[in-house]
């Protein structure tokens, strides 16, 4: 507390991303006085939805809801405040070349197994089963979907391995390359071609690594981690921003407050403790605790100040890898584009065009990464495009569709004065790549917006536009994400906590960072045993 004096709020939360809002809602639910501050005019951060293309609701960043930990959806009362989810019978159509069959991912496990067996053979089906079995143990150590978990370091996990086989499994999963696993479980370069490319891509899309780069296996294990509570990826009706808009309604009903267009200049530190914040207009707001939904450099170097950090903490934060090597394109379409030969049969079911991923061979993915490192636009970028209006027509005017597209690897380290030109070149290359399989795409586009990671850095305050708040690299996950031993959210500064994807368990719309932070702060403030309060409906 601020020298025993009264404070304006119990908790101030900086940033109205989905984690910051989840923490705010859960703390308000426990009767605490909570204020959430957001510099932008809308909620959700990089899981927000707003009109960018005329008459459309466009997702800005995240586009799919991850499987939520058991009981979390109910505790956040998402359905009560208007969230409706859309199940995805066909989750993705993955294309490699016109010579290799598409890998269609069905939600129905039996249909999925039969499809793999028919198009890729019994060896591929067995390989996938063995790959998932291999990933289960190291993924379990990561606690990706375990609420309020505090992970150990990699060294501690290795030291506690029950036998040499388990130790080698942990080492391979955390320090090996994705291709170590691909070659082990899907070795047929011809029959398994699309699957090999897909698994390789799953290992690099949240990293600054190629699939042959040591350490890329970890992202693959993270991607394949299973939620013990069950569930599959889903769409949110009305866009991902509906999650945050629902939490805003929940917060207001519980007596909390969210203020938009209210940028924070700094977090106030007095006597080595966070005692509140100062707004850009000079207004000071005091609090018993401050939560930051921003990443570590943005929080400590941008809002706290290096003078309040010890040398070891400064060095750790400076060493975090934050490279946003991606492009984000939004399209408004006059109609649904169609697959060309030899995949015209996919047009019979529009749901095959909900989520199309173009995955080059692993060698080409590695070449794209190496081109990115040289400051060049890759010749064969991996591309993912969702057309959410296939499942939710409410997102666009009648008769139109929208598409959300990501392309990797954008040369994000090129000189700043060159990145605008490189952005436009890569946008054209992404459209060209999509047009190889959807030949009428260009004539379908009536409006588009193109963003690089630089835009996300400016719009959302994410360091280098890194949507993961610390890439999924071995040294930056599990215990490597903690700043204080034994806590997933505390910082070396008393009263200051992290509640975003920069803390364990990391990125993805799971709400777990915000959820865990709320519980830890409630306990620190003595509110963890208070009865849950709810205003009258």
* DSSP element (H, E) containing 288: strand 284-292
**pLDDT at residue 228 in the model:** 74
pLDDT of 372 higher than 50 = yes
For tokens 């997102």, name the residue.
395
1 pLDDT tier (thresholds 50, 70, 90): very low
Q: What number is the average pLDDT over the span 503-507?
A: 95
Q: What is the pLDDT of residues 118-170, one digit of tens each?
A: 999 999 999 999 999 999 999 999 999 999 999 999 999 999 999 999 999 99
**How many residues does this entry show for the chain?**
537
pLDDT given at position 441:
98
Say whether pLDDT at 341 is over 90: yes
- Say if CB 304 and CB 310 are below 8 A apart: no
What number of CA atoms fall less than 13 Å from residue 281's CA on the CB side?
A: 6
The string of DSSP codes covering 334-386 is SS-----TT-GGGGGSGGGGSEEEE---HHHHHHHHHHHHTT---SS-EEEEE
Surface-to-core class of residue 142, CB atoms within 10 Å of its CB (0-12 exposed, 13-18 middle, 19+ buried):
buried
- Low-confidence winner among 222-236, 316-330, 370-384, 395-409 (lowest mean pLDDT): 222-236
Residue pair 49/58 in contact by the 8 Å Cβ criterion: yes
Spell out the domains of the chain, with CATH numbers in brackets: 9-63+239-321+467-524 (3.50.50.60), 109-223 (no CATH), 326-460 (3.30.519)
- 85 CB burial (10 A radius; 0-12, 13-18, 19+): middle
Q: What are the start-end ranges of the E strands in 377-521? A: 382-386, 401-408, 445-452, 496-498
Structure tokens at 324: 């946003």
Q: How does residue 234 score in pLDDT terms, banded at 50, 70 and 90? A: very high
Residue 537: pLDDT band by 50, 70, 90 thresholds?
A: very low
Residue-averaged pLDDT of the chain: 94
**Residue-wise burial string across 495-520, b where 16 or more C-beta atoms lie within 10 A, e elsewhere:** bbbbbbbbbbbbbbbbbbbbbbbbbb
Q: Answer yes or no: pTM beyond 0.85.
A: yes
Mean pLDDT of 337-343: 97
Question: Where residue 231 falls among pLDDT bands split at 50, 70, 90?
Answer: confident
pLDDT of res. 527: 84
């Amino acid at each position: 507390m601020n020298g025993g004096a009264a404070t304006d709020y119990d908790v101030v939360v900086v940033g109205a991303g989905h984690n910051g809002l989840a923490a705010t809602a859960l703390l308000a639910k426990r009767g605490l006085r909570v204020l959430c501050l957001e510099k932008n005019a809308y909620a959700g951060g990089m899981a927000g939805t707003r009109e960018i293309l005329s008459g459309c609701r466009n997702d800005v960043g995240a586009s799919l809801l991850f499987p939520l930990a058991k009981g979390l959806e109910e505790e956040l009362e998402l359905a009560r405040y208007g969230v409706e989810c859309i199940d995805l019978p066909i989750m993705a159509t993955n294309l490699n070349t016109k010579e290799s069959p598409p890998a269609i991912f069905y939600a129905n496990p039996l249909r999925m197994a039969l499809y793999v067996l028919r198009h890729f053979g019994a060896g591929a089906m067995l390989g996938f089963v063995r790959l998932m079995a291999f990933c289960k143990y190291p993924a379990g150590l990561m606690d990706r979907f375990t609420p309020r978990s505090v992970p150990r370091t990699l060294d501690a996990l290795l030291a506690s391995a029950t036998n040499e086989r388990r130790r080698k499994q942990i080492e391979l999963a955390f320090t090996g390359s994705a291709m170590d696993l691909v070659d082990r479980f899907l070795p047929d370069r011809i029959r398994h071609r699309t699957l090999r490319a897909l698994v390789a891509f799953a290992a690099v899309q949240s990293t600054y690594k190629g699939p042959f780069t040591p350490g890329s296996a970890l992202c693959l294990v993270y991607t394949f981690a299973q939620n013990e509570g069950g569930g599959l990826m889903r769409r949110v009706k009305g866009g991902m921003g509906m999650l945050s808009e629902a939490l805003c309604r929940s917060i207001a009903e519980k007596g909390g407050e969210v203020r938009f267009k209210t940028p924070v200049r700094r977090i106030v530190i007095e006597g080595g403790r966070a005692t509140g914040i100062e707004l850009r207009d000079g207004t000071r707001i005091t609090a018993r605790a401050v939560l930051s939904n921003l990443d570590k450099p943005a929080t400590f170097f941008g809002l706290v100040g290096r003078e309040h950090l010890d040398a070891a903490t400064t060095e750790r934060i400076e060493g975090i890898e934050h490279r946003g090597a991606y492009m984000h394109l939004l399209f408004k379409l006059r109609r649904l584009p169609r697959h060309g030969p030899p995949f015209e049969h996919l047009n019979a079911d529009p749901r095959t065009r909900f989520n199309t991923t173009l995955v080059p061979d692993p060698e080409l993915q590695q070449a794209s990464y190496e081109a990115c490192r040289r400051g060049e636009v890759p010749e064969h970028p991996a591309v993912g495009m969702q057309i959410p209006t296939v499942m939710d027509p409410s997102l666009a005017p009648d008769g139109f569709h929208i598409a959300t597209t990501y392309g990797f690897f954008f040369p994000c380290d090129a000189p700043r004065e060159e990145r605008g030109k490189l952005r436009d070149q890569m946008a054209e290359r992404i459209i060209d790549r999509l047009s190889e399989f959807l030949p009428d795409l260009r004539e379908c586009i009536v409006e588009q917006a193109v963003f690089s990671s630089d835009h996300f850095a400016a719009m959302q305050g994410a360091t280098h536009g890194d949507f993961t708040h610390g890439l999924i690299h071995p040294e930056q996950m599990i215990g490597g994400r903690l700043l204080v031993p034994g806590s997933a959210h505390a910082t070396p500064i008393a009263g200051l906590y992290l509640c975003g994807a920069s803390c364990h368990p990391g990125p993805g719309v799971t709400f777990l960072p915000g959820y865990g932070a709320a519980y830890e702060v409630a306990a620190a403030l003595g509110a963890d045993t208070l009865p849950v309060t709810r205003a009258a409906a």
